[in-house]
Each structure stands twice: as structure tokens, then as C-alpha cells.
Amino acid sequence: MKNTYDPQLIYDVFNRFGFPIMRIDQFDRGNFAKIRAELKYDRLSVDCLLEITTKLKSMEKSENMEINIINIDMIHKTMRLNISIKREEDTVTLT
């Protein structure tokens, strides 16, 4: 992901990884967005938490972003995340 200006792109990425988005805020900054996504778990076991973490880590790598988990709310089955798009010069490896 190059920027956060297109909310539909953010919706598509999170859906592809199994986290349907309920709300996106502050996406118009271009390199940052606040996300509230659905969780498809009735209870949050250690195995479920590992699955969530693995999916989020895969999303970070494939979409060139940093994800910070702000809150997991199992009463409403949602999680709040902040995403930051990495600058291209941050991802270039010097040889």
C-alpha cells in the first residue's frame, strides 16, 4: 500500500486478511489511518490471538505498513488499530 487516501483499498486489504472494517478515520493524512475492524471469534484463546498476530504480521509485510494494536474489545468483537505506511526510503536496503 503506497498511501491511505483511498479508503476502498484499505477495506479490500483488511477483508483479504479476514478483518472486515467497520470504520476508518484520519485516512486523509496519506500515511496513517485509524481502523476499527471486526473479529470473527466468540472467545479469544491464545491460539486465536496467535492467528490474529500472524495475519497482521503478514499484512504488514505484504502491504509495506506498520500496524499498532490499540484495543481488542471482545464484548463487541472488534479491534482498534492504527496503520502507518512506511516511506519507500525506509524499506530500501543499503548494500
What digits encode the pLDDT tens for the residues 53-74? 999 999 999 999 999 999 999 9
Do the domain assignments include residue 11? yes
Count structural domains, the chain.
1
Do the domain assignments include residue 2? no
Q: 42 is in which domain, residue-wise?
A: 7-87
Give the global pTM: 0.84
Share of the chain above pLDDT 90, in %: 88
Burial class (CB in 10 A: 0-12, 13-18, 19+), 44: middle
What digits encode the pLDDT tens for the residues 7-31? 999 999 999 999 999 999 999 999 9
Give the CATH number of the domain where residue 73 resides: 3.30.1360
Residue 81's pLDDT is 97
Do the domain assignments include residue 64? yes
**Do 84 and 31 meet the contact criterion of CB atoms below 8 Å apart?**
yes
